Amino acid sequence: MALAGISSWMSVADSIRSSSSNSDKSNDEWIELVTGLNQHLSNRSFLVESGSVTLADLDVYFALLPICSTLISNEDDSNDYYKMWMHLWRWMDVCQDAVSRMSQRMMENGSKRTSKGGVVEHLQPIVTQRFFANSNAKTPIFYYPSHSSDGSNVTTTVNRAAPPPTHKMKNVDQKVTSVQKSNKKDDNKKKVIKADNTKEQQLPPKEEDNTKEQQPPPQTQQKQKKEKKPKKKAAPVVPQQELDITALDIRVGLIVKAWSHPDSEKLYCEEIDLGETNSEKEPQYRSIASGLRAHYASSDLIEKKKVLVLCNLKSRNLGGFPSHGMVLCASNDDHTKVELVRPPEGATIGERVVFDGYYTEGDGDGDAPQVVIAPPAPDNRVAKKKIFEKLAPDLKTDKDGNVVWKNAICRTLGGEKGICRAENGMVNGKVS
């Protein structure tokens, strides 16, 4: 076990507790930290190389528990976080079970010791329980070897992520005892007392020879000790999750109404149906302002058209008009030509478009396949981390006028399946 790795992760836990108590980090920064930790756990069971929970795992677990509980307290975002951080929840479930087992053993032994603040006694395992209750994914199953009373191997199946059963180490004394008995037999054969003084004088040299054979020279012993010293491992680095087009929430919208902005010569004001409803289940249209008046002479030219809308942008005022989102258009390099980006006419209003290679299809209800795509980033994170600005250079139209991101074609899968294109087939245009 790498002690350096354990020490490093415990330092991370101290840093998390310090930032949490001082409120140094925003929700976005906590989300970024937890996402990186989830990626670190995607190909390993524990934080450091180990077959079971270590002190580092428990320390980081207790530091993260209140933070993760806060992040998923918002019902609107909780399901997305459950899917986004599956590896983290699996690891937290292991830690949760380990703590519960330790607490149970303390109670059975009559011990009154608890962790700081009585965490063990008052543990609330809501985080992992809610995840596995709401998730459609199968819970993991782990297999651990154990030993029966007659010494034969038995395989134990443990549902979810329970820690492995305790194993008794093999009795090394048996080997030592057998070696000692064989040495005694050899000594008894050699210790034959004879009356001849000449033979008695020949015995000491044999003892010296045995001593030389059994004890290696001091230099050899030093070399063996040097070879056994383990190399120190560097502190673990949590990799950042790669940013891709799934961070953007692009949906099919219908421009229900459009009119000229009273105070701007460039803007149209629009009400767009994105399939959203209010608390009373009534349709709720989004208000969005678009700089299209120089390219579409009349609002009638854009009204009643289906378009692509970037939805996860923070609401802001454009010329005093509250705009929440952006209608995507294709344009040439000098922005003298601009045209709407259109989905197929039969596309479902409010459906999220996908890009080839960045989604999967599973078995759904009836003939409609279930589309699995990573959840988009929250509105405030898109603005703070400038996510759209980082992804926009690769969002364009290809030689056929199709919308692509890094050559991955944009398409709809609900309703009429088809490819999203520039309205007039503009090629090699920028989409924004």
Q: How many CB atoms lie within 10 A of CB 161?
A: 22
Q: What's the token pair of residue 419? A: 């490819």
Of the candidates 348, 367, 339, 361, the residue with the CA atom closest to the CA atom of residue 431: 339
**pLDDT value of position 308:** 97
Beta bridge partners of 306: 254
Q: What's the token pair of residue 169? A: 């180490």
Q: What is the DSSP letter of 318?
A: E
What does each C-alpha distance from 72 to 41, 52, 130 come to in angstroms?
19, 27, 10
What does each C-alpha distance from 325 to 177, 215, 271, 345 come to in angstroms?
79, 81, 11, 21
Residue type, 33: L
Kindly compute the dihedral angle of the four CA atoms of residues 352, 354, 359, 360, in this order, to the nearest 10 degrees.
Answer: 80
Number of H helices, E strands in the chain: 12, 20
Residues 39-56: b if buried by 16+ CB within 10 A, e if exposed: bbbeeebbbbebeebbeb
Bridge-based pairing state of the strands 329-331 and 430-431: antiparallel
- Domains of the chain from N-terminus onward: 3-144 (1.20.1050), 245-431 (2.40.50.140)
Q: What is the pLDDT of residues 161-210, one digit of tens each?
A: 444 444 433 443 444 455 455 555 555 555 544 444 444 455 555 544 54
Of the candidates 126, 5, 127, 2, the residue with the CA atom closest to the CA atom of residue 59: 5
Q: Residue 353 in contact with residue 414, Cβ under 8 Å?
A: no
Residues, the chain: 432
Distance of alpha carbon 342 from alpha carbon 122, whole angstroms: 55
Q: What are phi and psi of 279, to 5 degrees?
A: -65, -25
Task: Write out residues in the chain with pLDDT < 70, as ranges.
Answer: 1-2, 24, 72-80, 110-241, 362-369
Helix (H, G, I), strand (E, B) or coil at 64: helix
**pLDDT value of position 91:** 87
**pLDDT value of position 231:** 63
Per the rule left: phi > 0, alpha: psi between -120 and 50, beta: everything else, 371 is beta
**pLDDT value of position 164:** 40
Distance of alpha carbon 409 from alpha carbon 404, whole angstroms: 4
Distance of alpha carbon 402 from alpha carbon 425, whole angstroms: 8
**pLDDT value of position 159:** 44
Sorted by sequence, the CB contacts under 8 Å of residue 167 that are 6+ apart come out as: 145, 146, 147
Helix (H, G, I), strand (E, B) or coil at 363: coil
Q: What's the token pair of residue 162? A: 């329970």
